[in-house]
Amino acid sequence: MVYSHNTTLVTRRLKRIGENSVDSYRTLAKPLNPIHEDALKRFMHAQRLDIQQRYDNIFNEEIHDRLRDWEKLKSTIPLTAQKQMFKKFIFDEQLEAYRKLRHESKAAKLLQAVFQGITLQHNLLVSLGEKHFFEYLLQNTFPDPINCVIIIDHPGLKVILDEDEWLFYKKQNSLTTPIEKNMFHETKNGNYEVFLKPMESIYVPFIYEHFNISKEEDLNETKVLFRRWDNGEPVSILDLRIDQRPSCVHQTIRFYSEAACQFQKNLLISGIRGNRRILSIRSIDPTIKVALRNRGVEQELVISAFCGEAGSSRVIPLILYADSYMYRYNDRKVTF
């Protein structure tokens, strides 16, 4: 959940001497999540963002460092040579500013400011084999109903369509936001669609799975675009930053087998502390087949893999889960 902290200005009207009236206060505050009713208000909001961006570009720390370096340099240079150095300094600054303006047009700056105003950044700290659930607040800032298209270009990120699965993740994270059945629909090209009423706000459930991602893919950053279906105008942008954290191996078992043959092993799970059960299992290596068999109170783990040549070893990484959605690791020690 994202919280916005805005400054508030409270003014109080002073009473006259001998006056016994009610105190008068006036509060000036910036509204949370401004709703732009028409294109003119959206344009004025973009102009204010552009002015703020120009201010940040001019009065940044890099410019201050260059000015401080110039003041130090003037103290070591004779007065006769300072004029030439000053002219060269001004010329270099103007040349650098001209180069920036040459490559950045007014339309590009306005477009960048508009995108910055509708973009929200969210950070994820992921572990191998775990899923990460979060909800994104999507607002329809238009006075008419729209069909919003959700475009995702990352294979590990998706929108939850099943109501029971959504409810499970909300209970695990202690969220009380509303749930609506059949709210999202998946298209043929892999995108998602949702209908929004005028000025309506909904929560979009996302699940990120750090499992089916190869090492060659970029895991650092991805963007989710929310745009209108009729004209393609962007409604909101989710800037997702993904950081990886190392995984911990809870238990290791060593097997010996013949070379160049199919290896199969059945492991009996005799007990877990707290009388808990393993509800799902998966292998990180797709060439290894694993299965979980329930035999009354006991459970049996079946592993099938191909062994290499003599003298070689193979690692079979397995992940045990305490839920059927493969959301979190089983945090209890398993006895085989």
Q: 43-51 long-range contacts, Cβ below 8 Å, gap at least 24?
A: 45/117, 46/110, 46/113, 46/114, 46/117, 47/110, 47/113, 49/113, 49/114, 49/116, 49/117, 50/109, 50/110, 50/113
Q: 3-state class of 174 per DSSP?
A: coil
Residues 221 and 129 placed together within one structural domain of the fold: yes
Q: What is the pLDDT of residues 239-268, one digit of tens each?
A: 888 888 777 777 788 888 888 888 888 888
The overall average pLDDT reported for the chain is 76
Q: What is the pLDDT of residues 43-62, one digit of tens each?
A: 666 666 666 666 666 556 77
Q: 3-state class of 21 per DSSP?
A: coil
Say what the pLDDT of residue 43 is. Answer: 61
Say what the pLDDT of residue 260 is. Answer: 84
Say what the pLDDT of residue 29 is. Answer: 55
* 222 closest CA partner among 204, 208, 202: 208
Q: What is the pLDDT of residues 271-283, one digit of tens each?
A: 676 667 788 888 8
Q: What is the pLDDT of residues 77-128, one digit of tens each?
A: 665 555 566 566 666 766 676 666 555 556 566 666 667 778 888 898 888 8
Specify the number of domains making up the chain. 3
Q: What range does the domain containing 214 cover? A: 123-244
Of 112, 137, 164, the last residue of a domain is 112
Residues 160 and 212 placed together within one structural domain of the fold: yes
Say what the pLDDT of residue 154 is. Answer: 86
Residue 296: inside a domain, yes or no?
yes
Q: Contact at 8 Å (CB) between 290 and 282?
A: yes
pLDDT, average across residues 179-192: 88
Report field, pTM of the whole predicted structure over 0.75: no
More confident residue, 107 or 144: 144
How far is it, in rounded angstroms, from Cα 268 to Cα 324?
20
Residue 288: inside a domain, yes or no?
yes
Residues 150 and 187 placed together within one structural domain of the fold: yes
